[in-house]
Amino acid sequence: MRASLRLISLLLLLFQLPCIAQEEIVLADSVVVDTVVTDTTKIRQYDLLLEVGTQQLSGICMMKMKSPTEIIGTVINEFGLTAFDFEYNGKKTKLSNLPPFLDKWYIRKVLQADMSFFFSKLPLQLDALKRSRQITFSPDGEVNLINIRFKIKYTFTPIKDEI
Amino acid sequence: MDRRIPDTVWMRAYSEIVIKCRDMLRSFFILLTCLSALSVMGQTKLTSEQEKQVLAKMEQSSNALHSLQCDFVQSKRMKLLSKEMQSKGVLYFKKPDKIRWQYTTPYDYTFIMNGDKVQIKSAKKTKNIDIQGNKIFRQITTIILNTITGGGIKNSADFDVTLYKQDDVYFAKMLPKKKEVKQVYAAIEVYFNPALTMVETIKMIEKSGEYTLVKLLSPKVNTNINESFFKVN
């Protein structure tokens, strides 16, 4: 009898675990909706400043949710020229449509890894330091990502207008 | 009793399907050819005589233009996001080589050119560039100057230029010759107003097929523009 009661308690506990986990997911999802990428129809825009040593590149980064876990977007310069398109599948980022001067394997590799780190930290918006990357979130919505190894700094400043 | 369908019936059915598919494909290609012919039918390449007249008129208008002030609307259709991004701003131009290209919405970004000096001001940074030491910027400023005034467009060393007429509108199709520009742009099209006195629209077509349209609106020609607008610190 005691053994079966223990089993029932264990089963109840096991059944409760997914509910607790689900609550956490819902909480994380609600943060996503409130802060960063709103939904599959609205596009969030950022002013993007990329600093590599003394060199600076600026542009506009636009993104939207393709599904609850996937993000797609594009980076263009202010004059409208496409720098690259990106697709984040929840784990990795794939870049496409790069002009020849950016379409080098070593540039792709660093950009893809940096963008993946950025997207993975977007939902919870918590400052993080992992290996050679650091990300900080300001209360005004600005996001700073630093690739410490290659000394690359990305500054994402939200543009209020949504498309 | 053997209830299988004889091989000959299968063969006949198969050949009928193949013939039908072939006919459908043929019709599709005919339709496609007609459609593409229709799309270019509207535009005609100017004859050398027409081109000479149009260029003379453009040159005359360009010579008469000393300054220009206008609003602009820039739009870009993004394939991946299936959306159009629109930005707006103001343009100031003073001959021979002073430009202030200022985006005001949805972002702040100002490109100032004054002779050999270029200044870029974004929300976060201000950056000065010496065009002489920067090949790409030299190309960009040449494109901007050529396209705004339209003058000397045919003599450009950086582009192969062909003039076309579409309905009442004349436009120049500029195919880049220089490697730096060729890497990103397939062509730049500059559309003039029917009177050939002003550039109205600039279409920058990227190699991927995506393009950016810049429309110049409410132009004010030869007004007094404050020199401070072109000041590069």
In CATH terms, the fold of domain A44-159 is outer membrane lipoprotein receptor (LolB), chain A (2.50.20)
Task: Choose among B81, B111, B212: nearest Cβ to A74.
Answer: B81
Residue A159 and residue B106: Cβ atoms within 8 Å?
A: yes
A59 and B CB contact within 8 Å: no
Using CB atoms and an 8 Å cut-off, which of residues 137-196 of chain B contact chain A? 183-184
Using CB atoms and an 8 Å cut-off, which of residues 16-45 of chain B contact chain A? none
Residue A47 and residue B124: Cβ atoms within 8 Å?
A: yes
Asked if the B44-230 domain carries CATH number 1.20.990.10, the reply is: no
Residue B81 and residue A56: Cβ atoms within 8 Å?
A: no
Residue A43 and residue B84: Cβ atoms within 8 Å?
A: no
The domain spans of chain A are 44-159
> What is the band of B135 on the pLDDT scale with cuts at 50, 70, 90?
low
pLDDT tens, residue by residue, A101-150: 889 999 999 999 999 999 998 887 889 898 899 999 998 889 999 999 99
Mutate to test the interface with A, among B79, B84, B102, B107 (most CBs of A within 10 A): B107
Burial category of B200 from C-beta neighbours within 10 Å (exposed 0-12, middle 13-18, buried 19 and up): middle
Q: Look up residue B18 and give its two tokens.
A: 């193949």
Residue B76 and residue A101: Cβ atoms within 8 Å?
A: no
Residue B183 and residue A99: Cβ atoms within 8 Å?
A: yes
More confidently predicted of B168 and A145: A145
Q: Out of A18-22, A47-51, A122-126, B64-68, pick the least confident.
A: A18-22
B126 and A CB contact within 8 Å: no
The stretch B198-216 carries a mean pLDDT of: 91
- Per-residue confidence (pLDDT) for residue B41, from 0 to 100: 55
- Per-residue confidence (pLDDT) for residue B103, from 0 to 100: 94
Mutate to test the interface with B, among A58, A78, A87, A155 (most CBs of B within 10 A): A78
What does the DSSP 8-state code read for residue A123?
T
Q: How far is B76 from chain A (nearest CA, A)?
A: 6
Q: How far is B142 from chain A (nearest CA, A)?
A: 15
Nearest residue on chain B to A55, alpha-carbon basis: B127
B74 pLDDT higher than 70: yes
Complex ipTM above 0.85? no
Residue A64 and residue B81: Cβ atoms within 8 Å?
A: yes
Q: Look up residue B35 and give its two tokens.
A: 């459609």
Residue A155 and residue B124: Cβ atoms within 8 Å?
A: yes
pLDDT tens, residue by residue, A51-106: 988 888 889 999 998 888 899 999 998 889 999 999 999 999 999 999 888 899 99
Residue A60 and residue B184: Cβ atoms within 8 Å?
A: no
- Per-residue confidence (pLDDT) for residue A21, from 0 to 100: 36
Residue B127 and residue A56: Cβ atoms within 8 Å?
A: yes
For chain B, the C-alpha Rg in angstroms (whole number) is 25
Q: What is the 3-state secondary structure (H, E, C) of chain B?
A: CCCCCCHHHHHHHHHHHHHHHHHHHHHHHHHHHHHHHHHHHCEEECCHHHHHHHHHHHHHHHHHCCEEEEEEEEEEEECCCCEEEEEEEEEEEECCCEEEEEEEECCCEEEEEECCEEEEEECCCEEEEEHHHCHHHHHHHHHHHHHHHCCCCCCCCCEEEEEEEECCEEEEEEEECCHHHHCCEEEEEEEECCCCCCEEEEEEEECCCCEEEEEEEEEEECCCCCHHHHCCC
Question: Is this prediction's pTM over 0.90?
Answer: no
Task: Choose among B83, B120, B206: nearest Cβ to A81.
Answer: B206
Q: How far is B153 from chain A (nearest CA, A)?
A: 21
Nearest residue on chain A to B72, alpha-carbon basis: A79
Task: Choose among B79, B123, B184: nearest Cβ to A99.
Answer: B184
